Amino acid sequence: MTASPQFSFGHLVLFAVVVLIASAVILLFARDAVRRSFEVLRRGAAAFDAFDAEFIDRRATSGATRLARLISKIASLCDAWLVEGLVNFGASMAWALSIPVRRSQNGLVQSYVLCMVIGLIGLLGYGLYLAHYAIR
């Protein structure tokens, strides 16, 4: 990012000097007020720390942890029974339906060519059958 033309490094230095002078004046003339304000901040931080330890760490986090574990268990059960079950069922069906195809495969090219010729004869016979009844 670039600074606008109205703001320059000189303005930044001037601002820093003003802040340092104001801090020195406050420390010289209002030292007790600064100490009291830091004490109030320290007590407030201790109170927030106690709230964080009691409420957020013990109650909210443990509840969220239990909820996350429950969701995780439900998701793992859905994955195990639904997703893997459906995939395994599909794989079992493909394996069972492929048994006749695997039995007919013997690795000989002559038998594959014979199957292609039988299929071609069947296809031509079906075409002739449709042509015969289309002419009538």
User: What digits encode the pLDDT tens for the residues 97-108?
Assistant: 988 888 877 778
CA 107 – CA 115 distance, rounded (Å): 13
* Residue 19 and residue 82 in one domain: yes
* Residue 85 and residue 129 in one domain: no
Asked, for residue 135, whether it belongs to a domain, the answer is yes
Contacts of 104 (CB under 8 A, 6+ apart): 115
Domain that holds residue 100: 9-105
For the segment 38-96, what is each residue's pLDDT rounded down to a tens digit?
Answer: 888 888 888 888 887 777 777 766 777 778 888 888 888 888 888 788 888 989 999 99
* Residue 54 and residue 79 in one domain: yes
Average pLDDT over residues 23-41: 82
